[in-house]
Each structure stands twice: as C-alpha cells, then as structure tokens.
Amino acid sequence: MVWFPVVSASLQRLRFTPAFYSAARPRGKEQGSPLRDDFETELVAALPVLRRYAISLCRRPDMADDLVQIAVERAVAARDRVDPDTRLEPWLFRILRNAWIDAGRRQATRGTEIDVHDTPEAAVHDGVRAAEATVMLRQTEAALATLPEEQREVIVLVCFEELSYAEAAGVLGIPKGTVMSRLARGRVALAAKLGIE
C-alpha cells in the first residue's frame, strides 16, 4: 500500500513548516500550546479505518485513497475546531463523508468510472478456509452493496467501524433513533440476502 507512507510523509513535512503551525494554532490559546497534543498520532492511527470507511462508501480503492487524502488535509487545516474531550475518529468520519458527498456532486456532471479489476483479498491465507472466507466476503460485500445507501452507511459505521449509535448519528447528521431503525432494517435485509435466519 503506497497511500499510508505518502500520507504519513505529508504529515511529517507539514509538522515542520511554519505555515502549518500558524494555520493550526488554536484560537484563544497562547501561541505555543496546542489544542490537542496527540492529534497527529491519532490521525495517523485512524488512517486504516478511514480507508476502510472510504472504500465502503465509494467501493473503489483508488478513489478511497483520494478521499482519505482530502479528509486528512481538511482535518489538519481544521484541527483547531476539534473538541479535545471527544474521540477523533467520528469527527474524521464526518469529514471523510462530506468529502465523498462533494466528490459525488462533482462526478454527477462527469459520469462514473468503474475499475473491474479491483478485487478484495481474503484475510485468511490457508487452503479451504481461504476459499470459504473469500466466497463469504464476496457474498457479504455483494449483499451489502444491494442495500439502500442509508442502511449500508449505518451498518458500516456501527458494525464494521464499531462507532456508537450517537457517534454514527453525528457522522451522518441524523438522530440516534434513525440510526437504530436503519441499522435494524439493514441487518434484517442483509441476513435475508445472505440466507441467515
């Protein structure tokens, strides 16, 4: 994977430039004290889950990498607006989702491109179990892809990214009860498509 070192290297370059410090300086605090000391560490640690979420949204690894890059750039530029008492990941998911919506609006005028050669790899690498895992993964991905977008987003955030209902609601900009009802309907529909009772 090339994208992780590229983003990490970008963060390294940003860290030492005076422009980065002046742009990221918190408002209302003294010049030398950052709002969130561990921001860069948390941001780098969140890159794999951001990429997973981006892939679940756009279903294209190349576009997902671009979305993650955009989200990281926006997060670094807006780091003074993050609440230091909350988890960083839901805020990053919201930024990523907004970037995806923006990209969708831009693509609406251009049309979409699909790379038919993109295939996910199974997590297991031994014989029969690998084949079974690959089949199940593809069936699950195919079933998930047929769900309405609002159900798919909630399932990915709550079940795969392990966000709380409140955090998922914040990412999607909807009430917590709506998250719960979409999740329930999505789970039932997904189970039916996979033949699970």
Task: Give, in degrees to the nearest 5, the angle at Cα 175 between 66 and 80.
Answer: 50
Mean pLDDT over all residues of the chain? Answer: 75
Instruction: Please report which residue ranges of 59-196 form alpha helices under DSSP H.
Output: 61-77, 88-110, 127-146, 149-155, 165-172, 176-194
Question: How many Cα atoms are found within 13 Å in the side-chain-facing hemisphere of 11?
Answer: 21
pLDDT at position 95: 92
pLDDT at position 169: 92
187: which residues sit within 8 A by CB, 6+ positions away? 155
What is the mean pLDDT of the segment spanning 134-151?
87
Higher pLDDT, 99 or 18: 99
The verdict on domain 1-110 having CATH code 1.10.1740 is: yes
Residue 7 has pLDDT above 70, yes or no: no
pLDDT band at 141 (very low <50, low <70, confident <90, very high): confident
Higher pLDDT, 65 or 131: 65
Spatial distance between the Cα atoms of 114 and 100, rounded to a whole number of angstroms: 16
* Tens of pLDDT, residues 105-126: 777 655 545 444 444 444 444 5
Sign of CA dihedral 97, 105, 74, 141: positive
**Topology, domain 125-197:** Arc Repressor Mutant, subunit A (1.10.10)
pLDDT at position 108: 64
Residue 18 has pLDDT above 50, yes or no: no
pLDDT at position 85: 83
For the ranges 6-15, 30-39, 55-64, 90-99, the one whose mean pLDDT is highest: 90-99
Residue 17 has pLDDT above 70, yes or no: no
Residue 127 has pLDDT above 70, yes or no: no
- Is 1-110's fold the same as 125-197's? no
170: which residues sit within 8 A by CB, 6+ positions away? 90, 94
* Tens of pLDDT, residues 70-94: 999 999 998 888 888 888 889 999 9
Ordered by start, the domain boundaries in the chain are 1-110, 125-197
pLDDT at position 129: 72
Portion of the chain with pLDDT greater than 90, in percent: 25
pTM over 0.85: no
